[in-house]
Amino acid sequence: MVGSVIRGRANGESGVERVVFNDDERMWETRRETMFKELKQRIRDIRQGPDGLIYLLTEEVDGAVLKLEPAG
């Protein structure tokens, strides 16, 4: 996953890009999906925590650290 900071600057959209690569050693991108556009905040950083969950850092005046948890 990568934050789409540049997209956020261009047109007010931001989000997280989920990028899937093939198994080849050259790592060709095979699919891309934009997620969390509804947050309407620039995603500055994405990390996996020691608990295995994903954390997003937003870059806004009212920015936040968001924890992604599996549904269910």
Model confidence over 31-71: pLDDT tens digits? 888 888 787 778 888 899 999 999 998 887 878 899 999 88
Evaluate if residue 8 carries a pLDDT over 70: no
End-to-end CA distance of the chain: 21
* Residues of the domain holding 36: 2-68
pLDDT value at position 7?
Answer: 52
**What pTM does this model have?**
0.66
14 vs 45 pLDDT, higher one: 45
pLDDT value at position 9?
Answer: 53
- What angle (nearest 5°) sits at the alpha carbon of residue 39, between those of residues 33 and 45? 70
pLDDT value at position 48?
Answer: 92
Number of domains in the chain: 1
Whole-angstrom Cα distance, residue 62 to residue 53? 23
